[in-house]
Structure 1
Amino acid sequence: MYTPVAADVAKLRNTTGAGMMDCKKALAEAEGDFEKAIDILRKKGQKVAANRADRDSSEGAVIARVNEDNTLGAIISLNCETDFVAKNEAFIELAYELAEQALAYADKEEFLASDFHGQTVAEKLIEQTGVIGEKIEIGAFESIQGAYLGAYIHAGNKIAAITALSAKVDGAEEVAKAVSMQVAAMNPLALDETQVSQETIDKELEIERELLIKEGKPANIIDNILKGKMQRFYKDNTLVHQSFIKDPGMSVADYVKSVNPDLKITGFVRVALG
């Protein structure tokens, strides 16, 4: 029977990140065939992944990346089960590497099927489930394009946001980061009132109307009151109308215009754990 030598065990461990004893057993089962041993460890990962499929992977790392010319961005969440794993340096490094790869893909399925060092991203996640012993998966996947993008990752890697601006101008880098911080902190529903869904508007109007009726407001003034209520709703919940967190005396749109009167926000994406 083949007995693995220490150098081969160390090599397999460095390649896969699996435990020493797991690597030794895999090499013994594979009779020294290195690639076969890797497959054995992956199959072990598949078994572990299946056993943990119903586990809650609400911890992890949310990472935002933007390409070199600041025109393409992506955010992913690499999810796990415990905060202990989420804070692990190797886990965070993997999240950054995967987020960098995500820049090349328009949707989550394409990304999961893409090649990642000789295996698909999906296979890598299964492998890591076996190595770490926790359910590891891609939770959120968001991509965005624009004339100029800037990103922000909140401390602890729990929230990330990317903002798209209408042009690359002096001060665009600072604006994009500041607005991304706003998005991360205030979680707007939409860019402006035109992008709020009709379903959301109808629901808000229904709630406010019922409250006004209960308060005994005259029927002939309720519609006018509702207009004011919706203006307040848009101010609180749409990005351009929100009070700017760094200077509450101005709106986010006013802040952007103060840097360049022709500059506008054209979009944003946000991902948070939980």
Structure 2
Amino acid sequence: MAITAADVMKLRKATGAGMMDCKNALADANGDFDAAVQIIREKGKLVANKRSDREASEGVALAGVSDDNKFGAIVVLNCETDFVAKNEDFVNKTKSFLDAAIANKAADLEALKALEVDGRTIESHVAEQSGVIGEKIELSFYAKVEAEAVVPYIHPGNKLATLVGFNQGVADVQILKDVAMQVAAMSPVAVDKDNVAPEVVEKELEIAKEKFRQEGKPEAMLDKIAQGALNKFFKENTLLNQAFVKDNKQTVKEYLQSADKGLTVTEFVRTTLAE
């Protein structure tokens, strides 16, 4: 049957695919709109498979929270080029995935992929985008934070995002936002020294001992000296003990307690495409 320009535009609007792709899909489907849509989607899977060995190192990292500020999520959607990452439609598509994650309190990345947006799974949307854009598109990262108060931060450019959970809210939300920005800027490894993974502690002690051993320090003193180096590591790399970036005369813990004696961080997540 004859394929009209109106048919092509309708399919393009529905799928976002190129004009020729839409025309060819309609021709292959003998004008059947739903079948043409399926052809476009299958093409997306084909493109994704063909490009599976490509590196999707660009993309968008977005963070957001629920209306009650008690649940937050971060989503990263990868692509191959910065040109695509900066495209408004690509950013909006990522935002729709983030909104679905928050609305459904997705448990993990696989649960997120299984959620439906506009009647289709997010996983199928991602595959379709590969066909529409012609690049490898990958939903690579998802994390959530649940707490009495959760605050997000997205660094300009959508390449870095953080979520920070607190044990309580405060009247001045900027205080909490400052800490979310601290996480972005200083990339702590844990909330406090007690939260640092044992293997990280062991590694830092070994690095310190070997360093001082090379400097000729007595073997009997290495454990004590290394412990001092570990304490410095904790101060520089655990969030509550870091110098507050807006006022390095106080720690983040002291900054929070100046607002409310009981205020503290329960957990945080930081992800970036830039590092």
Length-normalised TM-score, structure 2: 0.96
Q: Residue 139 of structure 2 aligns to a residue in which SS?
A: strand
Report the CA distance between 1:168 and its aligned residue.
1.8
- Which residue matches 1:153? 154
Q: Conserved in 2, the CA contact under 8 Å of 1:75 and 1:99? A: yes
- Using the TM superposition, name which of 51-60 and 224-233 deviates more: 224-233
- Using the TM superposition, name which of 203-212 and 80-89 deviates more: 203-212
Q: Residue 267 of structure 1 aligns to a residue in which SS?
A: strand
- Which residue matches 1:79? 78
Q: Residue 12 of structure 2 aligns to a residue in which SS?
A: helix
- Which residue matches 1:226? 226
Deviations 1:71-107 (A, max 9, x none): 0000011100000000011111111111111222010
Identical aligned pairs, as a percentage? 46
- Which residue matches 1:139? 140
- How many Å separate the matches in 2 of 1:227 and 1:53? 46
Report the CA distance between 1:61 and its aligned residue.
0.5
- Which residue matches 1:32? 31
- How many Å separate the matches in 2 of 1:224 and 1:51? 56
Matched length: 272
- Which residue matches 1:163? 164
Q: Residue 55 of structure 1 aligns to a residue in which SS?
A: coil
Report the CA distance between 1:116 and its aligned residue.
1.7
Q: Residue 74 of structure 1 aligns to a residue in which SS?
A: strand
- The yes-or-no answer on 1:102 pairing with 2:101 is yes
- Which residue matches 1:184? 184
Unaligned runs of 5+ in 2: none
Deviations 1:188-219 (A, max 9, x none): 11111111111111111111111112212123
Pairing 1:208-219 to 2, within 5 Å after superposition? 208-219=208-219
- Which residue matches 1:241? 241
Q: Conserved in 1, the CA contact under 8 Å of 2:209 and 2:225? A: no
- How many Å separate the matches in 2 of 1:259 and 1:8? 61
- How many Å separate the matches in 2 of 1:176 and 1:122? 33
Q: Let me know the Cα RMSD of the aligned residues.
A: 1.0
- AA aligned to 1:9 is V
Q: Residue 23 of structure 1 aligns to a residue in which SS?
A: helix
Deviations 1:104-131 (A, max 9, x none): 2010001101112121111110100000
Length-normalised TM-score, structure 1: 0.97
Pairing 1:51-66 to 2, within 5 Å after superposition? 51-66=50-65
- How many Å separate the matches in 2 of 1:213 and 1:149? 44
Deviations 1:220-250 (A, max 9, x none): 3333222211110001111111111111111
Q: Conserved in 2, the CA contact under 8 Å of 1:151 and 1:176? A: no
- AA aligned to 2:91 is I
